[in-house]
Amino acid sequence: MKPKIHPNYKETTITCACGEVIHTRSTKQNIRVEICSKCHPLYTGKQKFVDSAGRVEKFRRKYGKKEQ
């Protein structure tokens, strides 16, 4: 490996808006994120399902051809 071309890794704390704290190493220090695996709906199982049929009908009413 070539010397002096790799970034310096420091001990880092990643803090989520939900309060979760993760200790790791990174080139940045003290990273703040809005969402993590502890609070993301995909991981928690609290997913919201969007009413896509209602959206499609609204789009068709607004931009679609008039039915005869």
Number of domains in the chain: 1
Per-residue pLDDT at 52 exceeds 70:
no
Domain annotation covers residue 68: no
Domain annotation covers residue 31: yes
Question: d(Cα 29, Cα 64) in Å, to the nearest integer?
Answer: 52
Q: What is the pLDDT of residues 3-49, one digit of tens each?
A: 889 889 999 999 998 899 999 999 998 999 988 888 877 777 776 66
Domain annotation covers residue 4: no
Domain annotation covers residue 52: yes
Structure confidence at residue 64 as a pLDDT band (50, 70, 90): confident
Q: What is the DSSP string of 41-54?
A: HHHHT-PPPP-HHH
Among 31, 28, 35, 36, CA closest to 9: 28
- Give the domain extent around 33: 10-63
**pLDDT value at position 22?**
93
Q: Which helix (H) or strand (E) holds 29?
A: none
Question: d(Cα 48, Cα 46) in Å, to the nearest integer?
Answer: 7
Q: Which two tokens stand for residue 50?
A: 């969007």
CATH number of domain containing 56: 4.10.80.400
**pLDDT value at position 66?**
63
